[in-house]
Amino acid sequence: MAGWNLALRFGLELAALAGLGLAAWRLTSGPTRWVAVTLVPIAAAVVWGVFNVIDDPSRSGDAPIEVHGWTRLGIEVVVLVGGAVGVALAGRPNLGLVLVALIAVHYASSISRIEWLTKQ
């Protein structure tokens, strides 16, 4: 994957975690709000970091918990799009749409990785 695409992906990952935290804040209240805003992004980051395809060229190659390529692709899409939806739910729908467009650019520029993942 090209360096600019890896940088875009990293930025999208961070935006997704922030968006999920915003959604947790928006959808909860009281003391559970603080728990949700802390645990939702942490849970997403753990899932993102632990469930991998072994030898994924866009990652370290390690797979603490090995999954099929389609599963990994699904995790990525759910986390990234979930973050964009979270941003939209938090009152920034235009920013959410920008994030969705950037996610599309990232995956359109990662066709060889997607093909590799779907064969694993």
Per the structure, the count of domains in the chain is 1
16: tokens are 């997704």
65-91 pLDDT, tens digit per residue, is 889 999 999 999 999 999 999 999 999
More confident residue, 35 or 2: 35
Question: What is the extent of the structural domain holding 71?
Answer: 3-118
Distance CA 86, CA 99 (A): 11
Q: Among the residues of the chain, which ranges form H helices? A: 3-27, 31-50, 69-89, 93-108, 111-118
Distance CA 22, CA 69 (A): 29
In the three-class reduction of DSSP (H, G, I as helix; E, B as strand; rest coil), residue 60 is classed as: coil
Q: Indicate the average pLDDT of the chain.
A: 92
pTM of the model: 0.90
Question: What share of the chain has pLDDT > 90, as a percent?
Answer: 78
